[in-house]
Structures are given as structure tokens and as C-alpha cells.
Amino acid sequence: MTLAVRFDVGVIFDLRLAIIESAAVFGGPGPAFIAALIAAAFRVYLGGAGALPGLIAIGIVFTCGVLLWFIARSKPMSDSPSILSAAVLAGALSISVLAILPQYDFERAVKQMGVPIVLLNFAATAAIGFFLSHFRKFTLERDILHAALTQAPDYHYVKDLHHRFVVVNQNVAHHNGRASPSEMVGLTDRDLAPSERADQLMADEANVLRTGRPLDHFEEYLIEEGKPPRWYSTSKVPLRNRDGELVGLAGATVDITEKKLLEQELSASRNMMATAMAEMSDGFAMFGPNGRIVFCNERYKALFPKSGYARKPGAHILDILKVTARSGERNDLPSDVDDHQIKITAEKLFTDKDEIFQLADGRWLSLRTRATDENYVLALVSDITSVKESELSFKSFAEQMKGLAETDALTGLANRRSFDESLLREFETAAISGRPLSTILIDVDRFKAFNDRYGHMAGDACLKSVSAALASVARRSGDLVCRFGGEEFAILLPDTDLKTALILAEKVRTSIARLGIPHEESEHAVVTASFGVAVFTKGSTVSHPTELVARADLALYQAKDQGRDRVTFIKEGEDILMRQFSAFNDHAQ
């Protein structure tokens, strides 16, 4: 405005309109009002006939600029199209306001000064707009960088070549007892830390500046006066300008106390776990998703002496099983097993299972595997040899007890309890299958008189001899000879018809007589026995095992009644029909 050009008496041309519009468009009503006020005061100061039109022109441009600012939604116009649009508007307004002049002056002004006025206002507005746009970007970037540095978490700072703080963030200021970052500017570590630590910090920074090599993640444990001990990680890098000249250094320090505490806890937990794994009495191994051992303790290797050398971190389960098979270490894994079978066995590793197997050296091992959600497998191996041996001993003892419970102590034959259980079972089977079931009851003749004459010791020896003769009949696995009670015995013959039962009974009767055991109180002078035979067949009227025994007992009674030392039987369909075996034998011949 100070370089105004006088066109006529009181008529002055300058660039006040470009300044006013630029202030309105790029700054808003406030800056526009100030610019308009200054321009109006200056125009009044200049005076002349054109003062009033000049003031009117100032008012028009101010109003148009403010309206354009509102149209732009009260936002600064900073892009090229909006700046050029404002410049065009300034040029148009500069020529439009000339219409306020008298007609003659207006025409002469447009003709002589119109083009320069338009171009100069356009150029001035555009120049102002682009300058402000560039300045805004520059200040915005600077503000962002400054805000990022001062408000960033952790501890950030910039120092010059003399180790003086240039910029710090709030955390650095507060950590050093300052209310704001500005109070830190110009200070060095000697102003903030003990001399020994300050010298060390500055020596480290001097090394960074001298070598140009950054200090990366340097960790240190600090105990500062009035503050709890903390862990920090510090990084420092040299700073260079665009010409490559060293201008200072930037540092960043991170409080890693929580991280270090977690690491220490994790390390302690790992050490404790490793110790527990190493000292545990069981073998432990962890397999990864690829089937290779990730971790195993020494006990795991020791439990497999022949393949222990192959059971180590990195070893694959297939290779371990191959070594185990070749060495013959496991009884359930033959040495000639093929690769396909080994692969199938290896695939079972990734399933939850509990198995027990025996090694070639006689030891028993328990293997439990559990798969995790991440496809890792935990394997726990225990030596259960003592437990297994106790189990087998207990089973053997139980079998012995069962045998004693079902065996007659004197003769070694099955006892009455065993006979009753077998009779019930075989009777049900015969009823379903339709096969015959024979029962023979035997009684040693005049045994009470034998005991009275020769004594109980001789009586026991007699029963043992008779039992041996009876036992010779039971040649099949299903046949059963038992001591029925006292001097009575019973024989159970599944799948045996009447004819066969009678032949067997007669054979035993003869064998007993041939023993030749003296018996002076017997009519036969030697020990003899009487036999009663009953048979259950398909279509029989016998409906219960006790009825079958009752028939055999009735036949035995008849044998006794007819003179003893003989075999009798009851035929199905007759109430009481006695047949001596001699008559049956004649018929058989």
C-alpha cells in the first residue's frame, strides 16, 4: 500500500484489495477486519477525491472475502485450486470496484490501468496464498514432530554436539524433577546425575558421535536416590543434517522393569521345571507337531537302555521306533517289523492313550501320552515292574485260593461247591443244545465199618486210592470228578449218553475192586463201590439239575439194595427201573 500509484487527482491505485481479500480468505474475519481497518485508515490519510470510493471498495472486498471464507466452511484455503480461485476473485474485484468512480474516470482507468490492476492483484493474492499454504505445512509438520517428541511415551530427547539437551519430552522432564520440557533445554547430564554416572553417559555419547555407530538397546539396572530400582533400555543415534554434517544425537530410553521381572520369573519357573523334570522318577518327553523330541529328561533315556542313545532332542519318533525294534527292546515290537507297521505305531503318538508293555529284560513300563491343542505330545513313562509283579503274584494267589476253595483237601478232587456250579452250567448248556448230560454218584461200600476196623488213617488212604481210580475217567476238559461228601463221589460227563456213562462207570467199579484193599467187614473181602447213573437228554422230563442228581442218587440206592459193588441206572419214562450192568453188557455184546 505504501507503493501506491496516483492515477488522477485523489484517485490512487495500490494492492490493498489483494491484502484484504487474502486476509479474509486465508485467515478469516478477524485478520480481514484488521487488514481492512489499516487499509481504510491509510486511505483516509491519503485523502483526495477518490477517498470515499476507496473506502467503499475496501468494504466490498472485505465483505466478499469473509463470505468466501464462510462458504469454504471456515477452513483455511490451502490447496492450489482454492488459492487460484481466490486470486481470480481478487483480480475481478479490483476491476469491478472501479465502477464506483465517475463514468469518465472509470472508462479511462479501465483502459489505461485495467489489465495491470487485474494482473497485479491476481499475482499478489496468489503469492500470499501459496506462501501461507507452505508456511502452514511447515508449521504443521514442526508442530507434529514437536508434539510427538514431547508427548511420546517412554523417554525421548535430542542433544547437541556439546551434550546439551535441545528437546525433551514430558517424561524426561518429570523424571528429572522439571515441570516442563523447556526447563531441560541447555542442561547436561552433569546438571542432573551424579558425577560418576554423568561422566559415563557423556563418554558413551562421545563414542557414538565419534564413531557414528548407534548404541542399540543398552540395558542397565539403576538405583537412583529417592526412586525404586528400575531396569532401562537405552538407544542413541547420531543426527546429521542434509549435508551429512553431524549436528547432535537423539536418544530413547524405555522402562523395561516389568519385562525384566517377567523374564526373571519365567527363567526361575523354567529352571524349577527343568530341575523337577530332571529329578522326577518318571521319564518325561515332549514331542513337537513334526514328531521330533523337543525336550526329554535323563530318566526317559535311562528307562530304555538299548534305545536310550536315540532318544534325544531332535530325534524323530520313526527313528526311535526303528532302533527299538532292531534292538529287540520291547517284547510287543518284533525285530522284523516292517516300516509300514512302524509308521502306524508312530501315528498313535498323537493320540491320548495309556498302555503297558514289557521290555526284553523283564521290566514292565507304563506309557501315557496326551496331545495338546497345539499338536504337541507329552509322554510320561513309568517303571511299574514291582506293581506288575505284585499284580501277577496276587492273581496267582487268587487262582490258588480259588483252586483251594473248589478243591477237596484230602483227595485233590473238586469239591461239592465246584460240582454244583458245573452241574448248573452244563445243565443249561445241555437244555439249549439238546446234547445228553450224564451224572454218576459213587459210594464206597461199608466204609464206616472199614474206619472202625482199620482206623481213620487207613480210611483216608482208602479214599485217596478210590479218588485216583475215579480221576482216570475224566479225560476230557469238560469232565468233572468230585468228592460229593464223606465216602461219596460224583462224576459229571457233558455230551455223554447213557451207554457211554454205564461203560465208564463199570470200568471204574472194576478198577476199584482190583485195588485189592482188604476189608474184612465187607461181604466181598475187599473195598468196593456202588454206582448210580442218571442221564438228561432232549425231551427229558427232568426240569432242574437237582432232579438229575436225585435220579442218580435213587439209582445208587438201588445198587446198594441189590448187594453193592454194581452199577445201576434209571431209564427215562419209568418211575423206578433198575438194570444191572451185566444185563446191559449182555445186550451191548
By annotation, the residues acting in catalysis are 487
The whole-angstrom separation of Cα 137 and Cα 78 is 9
Residue 332 CB contacts under 8 Å (≥ 6 apart), including other chains: 357, 358
Cα–Cα–Cα angle for 171, 173, 176, rounded to 5 degrees: 105
Identity at 244, one-letter amino acid code: G
Alpha helices in 292-360 (DSSP H): 298-302, 317-327, 339-347
The whole-angstrom separation of Cα 447 and Cα 458 is 11
Alpha helices in 415-527 (DSSP H): 416-433, 447-454, 456-471, 498-514
Do 62 and 20 touch, CB atoms closer than 8 A?
yes
Count of CB atoms within 10 A of residue 264's CB?
A: 11
> SS3 breakdown of the chain: % helix, strand, coil, rounded to 5?
55, 20, 30
Strands 437-444 and 488-494: antiparallel
Cα–Cα–Cα angle for 258, 260, 265, rounded to 5 degrees: 95
The whole-angstrom separation of Cα 519 and Cα 526 is 5
What separation in angstroms does the CA of 412 have from each of 203, 444, 465, 500, 512? 102, 17, 11, 25, 18
Strands 567-569 and 529-536: parallel
What separation in angstroms does the CA of 371 have from each of 270, 298, 409? 21, 22, 55
Count of CB atoms within 10 A of residue 587's CB?
A: 9
DSSP letter assigned to residue 349: G
The whole-angstrom separation of Cα 156 and Cα 252 is 5
User: Which candidate, 306, 303, 308, places its Cα nearest to that of 293?
Assistant: 308
The whole-angstrom separation of Cα 431 and Cα 58 is 130
Strands 364-371 and 353-358: antiparallel
The whole-angstrom separation of Cα 334 and Cα 561 is 67
* Matching residue, cell 500470499: 128
User: Which candidate, 553, 574, 556, places its Cα nearest to that of 566?
Assistant: 556
